[in-house]
Structure 1
């Protein structure tokens, strides 16, 4: 199994380096776990294991969300503090078998907003009901002419068409009978294979597919650990949600059924000139996205905490972006909503964050919930 390097350790920062190494090790474990929309079982088990020591109650709700309750310091006195639901999603961008060809190849559609070029051609894991198969997402040979129109249209010196799901297929090397025995059928999930999901460290940055939203999961788990000893003011529900990439389903359900009027999300945040954000900058506080306008008082408070902590937070209004709290607010399932993001290069692709992003976002979230 691959190892994760976190760089040299100076004699005066051994404790901090050990903490950073533990966070990256956990992040790597989460990245290797398959979590397609609606089938987040492997990620769910890691979240349950890591959250259990730091909350007062833990359960899995009917939507498949992992929910941990940490009771606040003021939960039982007359000056009851607000209840907060804080969320990160467990699911990842993935693919779905649409049909099986007579030669055992698979035609796919997408689960979440992405194109084949987001992850490239190469190995995939086909999550059959009885067996997980390794296969290859492929287009076909570049050495073809107009007699192969599906391939020809995508060649840069010919049609130059961007790859779409109708252009690619999965070569399984199996017969349809073997696929049936493995439990592969229309509706079977297909994920980028674990061999392409190793965390890469370079300079002050780390990169991998699916930092969305595994890096945010690490933030929530670390926040729960820190708040366990110094209780937050009010009750906090840590919610690890399902099916965010296909409409914020789990987060909307949790916002509807759990106590409280406030939903806060932790996500990756796009770093583009359009939004005035940078992957080298501090945590991103979102004031508006494609689904809702977030509550100004919450966003302003997050910005102030970030500034007080010296993290140089970035305020942003983003488009073509949705998250659990914005889905919940847009559908009237929460009265108040906020969103705190890790600055991320190439969201929904090969994603890159600064090493400092996880501790900085954790610090802001922890301080917000404490007070």
Structure 2
């Protein structure tokens, strides 16, 4: 590789400011417009084509400058888990449904913003002082909760309005605390990679919608692009606590501080072995921290990408983060930087020969 392709990407103030802007904005599944407009403005100076398809995906192309370029699709979903208003009870209280894989145990007392006006509210339920013993020993059901906008919010929200967590990004040393790191980390990563796209790659970047409710945007985007290979860039749950009994935690999924998580298998995808080997080789040759995500539940847009048309060789590379699908996640800047560099070096090293021979 030339010295240019060996450049090391850094996560500095500009990148952290970008991530803060993305995470502080709202984009619950099916209502990604605010995120899409931020990304559109950020990538416009660096790309050749920008389109929004019928689903709302933002499809971006950075053309190769060399002949016989390999067509590579990078995918990052824009949406986050959240809520939808379904009925007003009066006095600023609203019934709601959750959108995406929310955890009811985490809902109570979380601040939210509702609708395009971003009305401030909180998710409330019966106070502990009035709860029965049985209620104290049970998980509060969503049906027993309300989004409370206060008296000033009476009549302000309507059925179908979206609500998102109102958490703002905080940095503490190497740690980032924010909502929607799943998957604004992926979106910020794609934005940075578009700035440094190698000349021999036809780079097809899809910022997709509705991943959290069924990989819906990715299905459409991959059909449109039909790449030679696809890489889903996401955030993956880390459960790396020590066990209370002192035994080794062997079911951690992935660990903070371990670098990008390369997927071998998840609920929806068996990653292409050729791409797993390739990313492993790139990481080791460039001395980049990496880890394998433990096979198991969950999944990424790769679950839709690899099933497109005649099949697309696919793999997922994700930034590990704790407390996914809650009001605040925690990730490490160093893991994000390692993910950026692994993807950058992989794009620089990609050739069609990587996919030569049958998948095995």
> Normalising to structure 1: TM-score of the pair?
0.83
Q: Note the residue ranges of structure 2 that are not aligned, 5 or more in a row.
A: 1-7, 240-249, 351-360
Q: Contact 1:118–1:348 (CA<8 Å) still a contact in 2? A: no
Are 2:106 and 1:106 equivalent residues in the alignment? no
Q: Which residue in 2 is equivalent to 1:134?
A: 120
Q: Which residue in 2 is equivalent to 1:188?
A: 161
Aligned counterpart for 1:167 among listed residues 134, 138, 144: 144
Aligned counterpart for 2:271 among listed residues 294, 305, 314: 294
Q: Distance in 2 between matches of 1:331 and 1:99?
A: 39
Are 2:343 and 1:365 equivalent residues in the alignment? yes
Write out per-residue CA displacement over residues 304-336 of structure 1, whole angstroms, 9 at most, x where no aligned residue: 111222122101233221211113325667421
Q: Contact 2:61–2:204 (CA<8 Å) still a contact in 1? A: yes
Q: Distance in 1 between matches of 2:339 and 2:148?
A: 41
Q: Distance in 1 between matches of 2:141 and 2:282?
A: 43
Aligned counterpart for 2:319 among listed residues 339, 342, 361: 342
Match runs of 1:197-212 below 5 Å: 197=168, 199-212=169-182
Question: Shift in Å at residue 19 of structure 1?
Answer: 5.2
Question: Shift in Å at residue 174 of structure 1?
Answer: 4.2
Q: Distance in 2 between matches of 1:89 and 1:163?
A: 30
Aligned counterpart for 2:78 among listed residues 83, 90, 98: 90
Q: Distance in 2 between matches of 1:235 and 1:292?
A: 24
Task: Answer with 293-302 or 345-354: which moved more.
Answer: 345-354
Write out per-residue CA displacement over residues 238-287 of structure 1, whole angstroms, 9 at most, x where no aligned residue: 11111111111111110112132322110112223415521011111001
Q: Distance in 1 between matches of 2:266 and 2:108?
A: 28
Q: Distance in 2 between matches of 1:304 and 1:347?
A: 29
Q: Which residue in 2 is equivalent to 1:351?
A: 329
Q: Which residue in 2 is equivalent to 1:64?
A: 56
Match runs of 1:1-371 below 5 Å: 20-74=12-66, 77=67, 80-118=68-106, 120-127=108-115, 131-146=117-132, 153-155=134-136, 160-174=137-151, 178-179=154-155, 182=156, 184-193=157-166, 196-197=167-168, 199-227=169-197, 230-231=198-199, 233-272=200-239, 273-275=250-252, 277-330=254-307, 334-349=311-326, 350-370=328-348, 371=350
SS of the equivalent of 1:274 reads coil
Q: Note the residue ranges of structure 1 that are not aligned, 5 or more in a row.
A: 1-15, 147-151
Q: Contact 2:235–2:320 (CA<8 Å) still a contact in 1? A: yes
Question: Shift in Å at residue 52 of structure 1?
Answer: 0.9
Q: Distance in 2 between matches of 1:284 and 1:19?
A: 18
Write out per-residue CA displacement over residues 132-180 of structure 1, whole angstroms, 9 at most, x where no aligned residue: 322221012211154xxxxx6442xxxx11233122111222489x52x
Q: Distance in 1 between matches of 2:237 and 2:103?
A: 17
Cα 1:119–1:333 change in 2 (3 A) is farther
